Amino acid sequence: MLNAPALSVQPRTLLTSDDWYYQLKKQYETRAPVEERWFSFTRGLKAHPHGESHKFDYLVEHFVDEITGPYDQDISLLLVGNKGRGKSICGVSLCFYSACELAERLGGKWQEYFDPVTNLAVILEEEANALMAIQDKYQCKDFDDIGIGWNARSWQGESNRDKNDVFQINRTDSTIQVFSVPNQFLLDKVPRSLVSHYAEMDQQFFAHGFTTVKMFKPETLFREGKIIQPYLAMDRTKYVLFRVPRPPQDLVEFYQKKRKANKIKATNKRMSDEPDDELPRKRRKNAATMAMEEEMGSYANILSPVISMGGGKDDVIDVLTKAGMPKPKAKRWASGKALYELFPKPS
């Protein structure tokens, strides 16, 4: 057990024993060591003297309570943080300990709920597609670095649309789905808008075998058209910070080997194709155009039927304004070419 690092001692000539520095130092050195203060596994440590260490237990139990309840609920967690902050191992750990809790409650082995071979999709689009297609109940699914396999810039692609469709209807599978990305805007807008939980990586304690995350539960204000991110609250208690322990070493090594192989595949595939910066100018799209097209795609459910049935400019303006869009913006969309490139008129 490692002790917390001691503060360096300042010369006594500068401070007296009554000063705040020595009071703080004495308090710091008498607290429990870092590992002991945060020590926690999924089960069996309810009598541990440090109450905050149980919060990870509560998080895993809360997830499992949700999906095993009588109302066919699921958990979808968007996990974000800068590169190297521990997102990937955090996602593996959440799935592993949730699978352990499911095995304890429902029977069987944890691999039946989180098989690293099939339930861990790392980087590659084909792995994400195969994982999304699994329809067994109570599965823990980890989509690691999914910003590549479910990219927001590829929202028009058939693969993205298929995954979006399945994601909207797979609630009754009662799964725990973890999506990790360096930035939330790298992920397609549909899963980004519909996740049940949102987490940000906070502090790294790699040497002590854990990381900490801030957990939020998004709420959509439909009339205002925006999403707010309040902290996760359970049993009338608001929880801000959770400690996530490192999963078993053999599972970490399996993940690292898989990630290394998939990273090579993804890099080779992209470097062998025509780079975006070498495309002819007429085929390039600036960020504003791409953002507008993505927003148009979010109205596909009302625009596509109108245009496919031969509706004209006035019909498009009408359905957009009824959906809450300002009329000048609706007119601008209806008069431009971009809308009809996305939703071609019938010939």
Partners of residue 231 on adjacent β-strands: 216
Query: In this structure, are residues 112 and 103 in contact, taking their beta carbons and an 8 Å threshold?
Result: yes
pTM strictly above 0.85: no
Q: What pLDDT does 149 receive?
A: 66
Cα–Cα separations (whole angstroms), residue 19 to 6, 8, 103, 293: 18, 15, 54, 62
Strand partners, 322: none
Using DSSP bridges, classify how beta strands 241-245 and 120-122 pair: parallel, antiparallel or unpaired: unpaired
**Binned average pLDDT, 10 residues per bin, the chain of 347 residues:** 41 46 50 40 38 60 90 89 89 92 90 92 88 90 83 63 76 89 75 83 84 84 70 72 87 93 88 53 59 81 83 87 87 85 78
Domain 38-271: top CATH class = alpha beta
What SS3 class is residue 208?
helix
The type of residue at 114 is F
Q: Where are the domains of the chain?
A: 1-31, 38-271, 283-342
Amino acid letter, 286: N
The CA distance from 303 to 285, in Å, is 22
Please report which helix (H) or strand (E) contains residue 255, including its range.
helix 249-272
Beta strand ranges found along 162-240 (DSSP E): 176-181, 197-205, 210-216, 219-221, 226-228, 232-234, 237-239
